[in-house]
C-alpha cells in the first residue's frame, strides 16, 4: 500500500485537546493536537451566533440606493428596536 519511509507516522488515535480538556480522538500525523476552537464551542455549531447590524450599514445602503420606501421610516425603526431586544 504505502511506500515505506516516505510517509509520516500515522496515529489513528490522536487526542484533540481544547482548553486543556480532551474533546475527541481522530487520526492524525501528530499524537496530540491542541486547538482553540472546535465544533463543540464554535458559535456557528452551538447556535449562539447572532448577526447584528450595529452600525446601520444595511439601512444606509438601502437608503443610498433607494431600496427603502421613504413613507415607512417608522417600520424600519421598529424593526431595529425589535432586533436589539
Please count the structural domains in the chain. 2
- In the chain, the N- to C-terminal Cα span, in Å, equals 59
Averaged pLDDT, 71-84: 59
**pTM: predicted TM-score of the whole model, two decimal places:** 0.49
Full residue range of the structural domain in which residue 80 is found:
51-85
For residue 25, give the nearest of 7, 17, 10 by alpha carbon: 17
55 shares its domain with 32: no
Claim to verify: residue 46 and residue 56 sit in the same structural domain: no
**27 assigned to some structural domain:** yes
66 plus 33 within the same structural domain: no
Phi, psi angles (nearest 5°) of residue 18: -130, 120
Grid cell in block for residue 48? 449562539
Beta-strand (E) ranges in the chain? 11-18, 21-28, 32-35
* 2, part of any domain: no
- pLDDT by residue (tens digit) across 25-76? 999 999 999 998 888 888 777 877 666 666 677 788 888 888 776 555 556 5
46 plus 14 within the same structural domain: yes
- What gap in Å lies between CA 34 and CA 52, rounded to an integer? 31
Amino acid at each position: 500500500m504505502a511506500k515505506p519511509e516516505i510517509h509520516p507516522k500515522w496515529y489513528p488515535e490522536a487526542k484533540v485537546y481544547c482548553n486543556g480538556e480532551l474533546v475527541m480522538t481522530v487520526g492524525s500525523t501528530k499524537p496530540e493536537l491542541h486547538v482553540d476552537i472546535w465544533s463543540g464551542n464554535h458559535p456557528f455549531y452551538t447556535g449562539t451566533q447572532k448577526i447584528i447590524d450595529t452600525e446601520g450599514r444595511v439601512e444606509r445602503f438601502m437608503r443610498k440606493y433607494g431600496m427603502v420606501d421613504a413613507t415607512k421610516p417608522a417600520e424600519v425603526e421598529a424593526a431595529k428596536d425589535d432586533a436589539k431586544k
